[in-house]
Structure 1
């Protein structure tokens, strides 16, 4: 299992009361599931409702792995390596 840094932004950071944490997992899905187990209120903000087998990110959530959007990789099945950095971004507006 890879040990990675997960950075949370905006309201996700406020709910978890931390901006960064270390989580282990083999895939993006593993890490996000672990994150939502540690912070249950995040689950409804990150995932659309459904079983664990058919999880989908909410359409407005963006997840970046080492600066690359996972939508352009293998999505939730993207494999992780030690020291990767994942950023989870909710929609943000303002000016």
Structure 2
């Protein structure tokens, strides 16, 4: 399996976020989405290299499917797989919160 530089950078960022003292798991996930996902999907999640992750853009997608995309990535695109770095529960939490409007 080949990994891109972006995947390695994402893993390093995730390790630094998860290791941050004084934050709860959910705060870590919010930081991950804002800092790492935002690098491709735009810092305001309105889109960039990757598509918009705002509720309107995700309205016709269910959270379970979005969670699987987070975990497995999208072949042939820059979207890396996060399985092994995120649990299925964390991916589902991210997906549900993206559909509702991600917290600041």
TM-score between the two structures when normalised by the length of structure 2: 0.31
Query: Higher helix share goes to which structure?
Result: 2
Task: Report 1 or 2 for greater relative contact order, CA contacts < 8 Å, sequence distance ≥ 6.
Answer: 1
TM-score between the two structures when normalised by the length of structure 1: 0.33
